[in-house]
Structure 1
């Protein structure tokens, strides 16, 4: 059974029982990713490691080595 089929079945059951419809698949993916990222950063601080910022690190490398861009 696919995710969509399970969602439709759950929605039908909820409607039949008068309950609230379940959230659509993928509705909370962004929030889950944010929470996971926050947890990783928190654990890094607890372990005494620096918190990683991949985009910020890439921009800093790009600024440090202007000759490589040409």
Structure 2
């Protein structure tokens, strides 16, 4: 069953029972994205990390040739072919 079919079925059932119809699919997508972003910022603050600029800082570190993890690992050179 597709999302649209489920929505139409739910709207039909709501009309039969005299209840308000549910919101259409996709009506609150941006609100959900904002809530996920805010939750991620909240968790960062609770963990003692900066709440903003984490993605940009990580991308800048990767562009400079850094690693994702903070630990240093000795690198061995690749053997020549």
Structure 1 gap ranges (5+): 62-70
The answer to whether 1:27 aligns with 2:32 is no
The alpha-carbon deviation at position 54 of structure 1 amounts to 6.7
Q: Which has the higher helix share?
A: 1
CA distances 1:20-64 after superposition (whole Å, capped 9, x unpaired): 000000111111111110010011011111123378x48xx7xxx
Normalised TM-score (structure 2): 0.63
Normalised TM-score (structure 1): 0.72
Structure 2 gap ranges (5+): 61-81
Per the alignment, residue 66 of structure 1 pairs with none
Moved over 2 A (4+): 52-55
The answer to whether 1:36 aligns with 2:17 is no
Distance 1:11 1:54 in 2: 42
RMSD over aligned CA atoms reads 2.0
Larger Rg: 2
